[in-house]
């Protein structure tokens, strides 16, 4: 059977793909929709919360949507730990509504939620395991509608015996522009190396 030779364009595509897998930054696709605004990383001292302040003042005139990308570990034992997001210091749980669809250890479930549930963290049971969260805050500076949030999150421990995939939505029953965003895990601290990065998508 004759050997089929790759075209020059195919060879270049293969070369770029191989370089991307090898970590060559020149060939790694870059998502340009969101711009990094600020990052907070928890140090060796545990924190009760992580907060972004002066959000409307700093970003309200420039950005249409916000996104938080967070990798979270908490001080409690166990696996899945709730991650709450309080907006503008509002701690009244009934002012928030959420709905979650998740797969935990292979079991599928969905639940309504009364409270500011924005995602998950991982407890200390599994060393070096963090929960990844991508949290979109839609139109946070609009004052004619309630603030809506959507999240995708997930984690797996080192052996894969415990895992979570979560899709959810949340609404804050308030039309005020967002000024502060505070993350907490109920009755637990957020511990070292947890990272919270705030991104913005510019207004069109």
Which residue, 58, 57, 40, is CA-closest to 49? 40
Which residue, 44, 56, 50, 91, is CA-closest to 69? 50
Q: Do residues 165 and 134 lie in contact, with contact meaning Cβ atoms separated by under 8 Å?
A: no
Above 60 in pLDDT, residue 30? Answer: no
DSSP 144: S
Q: Do residues 64 and 204 lie in contact, with contact meaning Cβ atoms separated by under 8 Å?
A: yes
Q: Do residues 117 and 82 lie in contact, with contact meaning Cβ atoms separated by under 8 Å?
A: yes
Return the pLDDT at 33. 84
Return the pLDDT at 55. 98
The winner for highest mean pLDDT among 97-106, 114-123, 159-168 is 114-123
Domains in the chain with CATH codes: 35-202 (2.60.120)
- Does 49 or 6 have the greater pLDDT score? 49
Residue that the structure tokens 């364009």 belong to: 9
DSSP 193: T
Mean pLDDT over all residues of the chain?
A: 85
**Rounded distance between C-alpha atoms, residue 83 and residue 159, angstroms:** 23
Return the pLDDT at 161. 65
pTM: 0.81
Return the pLDDT at 3. 43
Cα-Cα-Cα-Cα dihedral of 78, 80, 86, 92, to 10°? -80
Tokens of 13: 């595509």
Q: Do residues 175 and 146 lie in contact, with contact meaning Cβ atoms separated by under 8 Å?
A: yes
DSSP 73: B
pLDDT digits (tens, 9 = 90+) for 56-82: 999 999 999 999 999 999 998 877 889
pLDDT digits (tens, 9 = 90+) for 124-163: 877 788 999 999 999 999 999 999 999 999 988 765 567 8
- Per cent of the chain over pLDDT 70 is 82
Above 60 in pLDDT, residue 20? Answer: no
């Amino acid at each position: 059977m004759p050997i089929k030779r790759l075209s020059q364009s195919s060879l270049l595509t293969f070369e770029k793909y191989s370089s991307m897998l090898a970590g060559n930054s020149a060939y790694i696709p870059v998502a340009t929709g969101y711009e990094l605004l600020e990052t907070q990383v928890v140090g060796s001292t545990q924190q009760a919360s992580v907060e972004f302040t002066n959000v409307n003042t700093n970003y309200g005139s420039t950005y249409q949507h916000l996104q938080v990308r967070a990798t979270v570990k908490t001080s409690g034992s166990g696996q899945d730990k709730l991650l709450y997001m309080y907006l503008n210091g509002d701690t009244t749980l009934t002012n928030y509504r959420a709905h979650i669809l998740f797969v935990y250890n292979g079991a599928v479930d969905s639940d309504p939620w009364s409270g500011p549930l924005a995602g998950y963290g991982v407890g200390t049971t599994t060393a070096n395991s963090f929960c990844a969260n991508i949290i979109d805050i839609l139109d946070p500076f609009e004052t004619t509608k309630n603030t809506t949030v959507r999240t995708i999150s997930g984690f797996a421990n080192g052996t894969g015996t415990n895992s979570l995939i979560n899709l959810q939505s949340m609404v804050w029953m308030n039309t005020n522009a967002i000024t502060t965003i505070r993350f907490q895990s109920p009755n637990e601290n957020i511990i070292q190396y947890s990272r919270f990065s705030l991104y913005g998508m510019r207004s069109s």
